[in-house]
Structure 1
Amino acid sequence: MLHHLLEEPSHQPPLASPKQPPILSAYPQNSLNQQSFESNYRIICNHLVDFTRGKNLLRGQSFHAHVIKSGLQIVPLLCHHLINFYAKLQLPYSSEQIFYEVPFKSSTTWSSIISCFTQNELPFRGLEYFKLMLRNDGMFPDDYIFPCATKACAMINGYGVGQSVHCLALKIGYDVNVYVGSSVVDMYAKCGSLADARKVFDEMPEKNVVSWSGMIYGYAQMGDDEEALRLFKRALWEGLDVNDFTFSSVIRVCGNSTLFELGKQMHGLCLKLSYDETSFVGSALISMYSKSGMIEGAYRVFDEVSDKNLGMWNAMLIACAQHAHTTNVFKLFGKMENVGMKPNFITFLCILYACSHAGLVEEGKYNFRMMKEHGIEPGSQHYASMVDLLGRAGKLREAMKLIEEMPMQPTESVWGALLTGCRIHGNTELAGSVADKVFKLGPVSPGLHVLLSNAYAAAGKHQEAAKARKMLKDRGQKKETGLSWVEEGNRIHTFAAGDRRHELSDEIYRKLEELGEEMERAGYVADTSYVLKDVGDEEKGRTIRYHSERLAIAFALITFPSERPIRVMKNLRVCGDCHMAIKLISKCTGRSITVRDNNRFHRFENGKCSCGDYW
Structure 2
Amino acid sequence: MLLPQSLETPEPPLNPLNQLSFEQNYRNICNLLLSLTHTRSLPKGLQLHAHIIKSGIQTIPLISHHLINFYSKTQLPLFSRQVFFEATHKSPTTWSSVISSFAQNEFPSLAIQFFRTMLVNNIRPDDHIYPSATKSCAILGRSDIGQSIHCLVLKTGYDRDVFVASSLVDMYGKCGKIKDARNLFDEMPQRNVVSWSGMIYGYAQLGEFEEALTLFKQALYERLDVNDFTFSSVVQVCANSTLLQLGKQIHGLCFKTNYDISSFVGSSLISLYSKCGVIGGSYRVFDEACVKNLGMWNAMLIACAQHSQTEKVFDLFKQMEGLGIKPNFITFLCVLYACSHAGLVEKGKHYFELMKEYGIEPGDQHYASLVDLFGRAGKLQEALSIIREMPIQPTESVWGAFLTGCRLHGNTELAAYAADRIFELGPVSSGLHVLLSNAYAAAGRYEDAAKARKMLRDRGIKKETGLSWVEEGNKVHTFAAGDRSNAKTKEIYRKLEELGDEMERAGYIADTSFVLREVNGEEKNQTIRYHSERLAVAFGLITFPSDRPIRVMKNLRICGDCHTAIKFMSKCTGRVIIVRDNNRFHHFEDGKCSCGDYW
The TM-score normalised by the length of structure 2 is 0.93
RMSD (CA atoms): 2.0
Q: Distance in 1 between matches of 2:362 and 2:501?
A: 50
Confirm or deny that 1:118 pairs with 2:103: yes
Confirm or deny that 1:34 pairs with 2:19: no
The residue correspondences of 1:95-244 to structure 2 (distance < 5 A) are: 95-136=80-121, 138-244=122-228
Contact 1:458 1:532 in 2 (8 A): no
Deviations 1:586-609 (A, max 9, x none): 111111111111111111111111
Q: For 1:72, what is the secondary structure of its paired residue?
A: coil
Deviation at 1:198, TM superposition (A): 0.7
Contact 1:550 1:578 in 2 (8 A): yes
Is the deviation greater in 258-267 or in 531-540?
531-540
Residues 467 and 411 (structure 1), Cα distance of their counterparts in 2 relative to 1, 3 Å cut:
same
The aligned counterpart of 1:22 is none
Q: For 1:563, what is the secondary structure of its paired residue?
A: coil
The aligned counterpart of 1:435 is 419
The aligned counterpart of 1:44 is 32
Deviation at 1:460, TM superposition (A): 4.3
The TM-score normalised by the length of structure 1 is 0.90
The aligned counterpart of 1:18 is none
Deviation at 1:57, TM superposition (A): 3.0
Residues 383 and 525 (structure 1), Cα distance of their counterparts in 2 relative to 1, 3 Å cut:
same
Q: Distance in 2 between matches of 1:332 and 1:115?
A: 35
Decide which of 52, 69, 72 is 1:67's aligned counterpart.
52
Contact 1:48 1:63 in 2 (8 A): no
Is the deviation greater in 588-597 or in 117-126?
117-126
Amino acid at match of 1:454: N
Contact 2:37 2:73 in 1 (8 A): no
Residues 536 and 469 (structure 1), Cα distance of their counterparts in 2 relative to 1, 3 Å cut:
farther
Rg larger in structure: 2
Confirm or deny that 1:339 pairs with 2:323: yes
Amino acid at match of 1:534: E
The residue correspondences of 1:463-502 to structure 2 (distance < 5 A) are: 463-502=447-486
The aligned counterpart of 2:12 is none
The aligned counterpart of 2:397 is 413
Is the deviation greater in 115-124 or in 477-486?
115-124
Deviation at 1:208, TM superposition (A): 0.4
Deviations 1:197-242 (A, max 9, x none): 1111111121100000100100011000111111111112222111
Q: Distance in 2 between matches of 1:106 and 1:357?
A: 57
Amino acid at match of 2:106: E
Decide which of 358, 377, 383 is 1:393's aligned counterpart.
377
The residue correspondences of 1:9-24 to structure 2 (distance < 5 A) are: none
Q: Distance in 2 between matches of 1:126 and 1:332?
A: 37
Percent identity reads 69
The residue correspondences of 1:551-590 to structure 2 (distance < 5 A) are: 551-590=535-574
Is the deviation greater in 248-257 or in 394-403?
394-403
The aligned counterpart of 1:9 is none
Residue ranges of structure 1 left out of the alignment (5+ in a row) = 1-29
Residues 304 and 452 (structure 1), Cα distance of their counterparts in 2 relative to 1, 3 Å cut:
same
The residue correspondences of 1:268-347 to structure 2 (distance < 5 A) are: 268-347=252-331
Q: Distance in 1 between matches of 2:501 and 2:538?
A: 14
Residue ranges of structure 2 left out of the alignment (5+ in a row) = 1-17
Deviation at 1:488, TM superposition (A): 0.5
Deviation at 1:351, TM superposition (A): 1.7
The aligned counterpart of 1:505 is 489
Deviations 1:251-290 (A, max 9, x none): 1111111111100000111111111111121111111111
Deviation at 1:70, TM superposition (A): 2.6
Contact 2:33 2:45 in 1 (8 A): no
Deviation at 1:190, TM superposition (A): 0.8
Decide which of 409, 432, 450 is 2:434's aligned counterpart.
450
Q: For 1:111, what is the secondary structure of its paired residue?
A: helix
Amino acid at match of 1:95: S
Q: Distance in 1 between matches of 2:536 and 2:372?
A: 29
The aligned counterpart of 1:79 is 64
Q: Distance in 1 between matches of 2:200 and 2:422?
A: 38
